[in-house]
C-alpha cells in the first residue's frame, strides 16, 4: 500500500507527543521508499552549511552558525554540532544513508533533518523514510489534537496549509 506524506514536510518543536512518536517509530519502523524532494522546507541553514563545507568556507559565516548564536548557544557547542554534521555528511557521501528519517503522514519531520538535507544536497531525491502513523500509538481524540496543533503551526510559522 502506497503511503502519501503531505508536503512540504516541516520541522516541528519538541512537543511532548513528538518524543513518544520518535521512540515508537524507531522501535517499530514503517519504512517506505519515496520522493523526499519536498521534505526539507525550512532547512536553508543546512544547505548553506553544506555549501560552505564543500567550498572550504568559514562556517562562522553560515546561517547554521548564526541560528545557534541567535539562540544563545556558545561557540564550543556550535563547533561540536558542526563537527558532527560534517562527519555525518562525509559518512553519507562515502557510505550512503542506512538510517531512515521519521516523518508523519501530515507532513511533520520528527527526526532526520540533517540526513534529509544531506541526501538532497547530494542530489538524491528518493530514500527510505520511516512514516509514523498516529493510530499506531494514540487514541483518536489525541490524534485530532495533534493534527490541529500541527496545522496551526504550519499556518502560523510557515504560512502554509
From 63, 58, 72, select the one nearest 44 (Cα to Cα): 63
How many angstroms separate the CA atoms of 31 and 100, rounded? 8
Residues 52-70 pLDDT 10s: 999 999 999 999 999 999 9
Residues 10-53 pLDDT 10s: 999 999 999 999 999 999 999 999 999 999 999 999 999 999 99
Predicted model pTM? 0.93
How many angstroms separate the CA atoms of 50 and 77, rounded? 18
Domain ranges of the chain: 10-156
Q: Grid coordinates in use for 16?
A: 511532548
Amino acid at each position: 500500500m502506497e503511503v502519501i506524506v503531505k508536503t512540504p514536510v516541516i520541522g516541528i518543536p519538541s512537543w511532548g507527543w513528538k518524543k513518544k512518536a520518535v521512540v515508537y517509530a524507531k522501535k517499530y519502523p514503517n519504512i517506505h521508499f519515496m520522493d523526499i524532494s519536498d521534505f526539507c522546507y525550512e532547512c536553508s541553514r543546512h544547505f548553506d552549511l553544506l555549501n560552505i563545507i564543500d567550498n572550504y568556507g568559514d562556517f562562522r559565516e553560515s546561517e547554521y552558525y548564526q541560528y545557534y548564536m541567535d539562540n544563545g548557544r556558545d561557540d564550543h557547542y556550535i563547533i561540536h554540532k558542526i563537527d558532527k554534521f560534517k562527519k555525518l555528511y562525509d559518512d553519507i557521501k562515502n557510505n550512503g544513508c542506512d538510517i531512515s528519517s521519521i516523518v508523519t503522514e501530515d507532513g511533520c519531520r520528527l527526526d532526520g533533518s540533517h540526513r534529509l538535507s544531506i541526501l538532497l544536497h547530494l542530489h538524491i531525491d528518493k530514500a527510505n523514510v520511516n512514516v509514523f502513523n498516529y493510530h499506531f500509538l494514540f487514541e483518536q481524540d489525541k490524534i485530532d489534537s495533534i493534527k490541529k496543533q500541527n496545522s496551526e503551526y504550519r499556518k502560523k510559522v510557515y504560512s502554509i496549509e
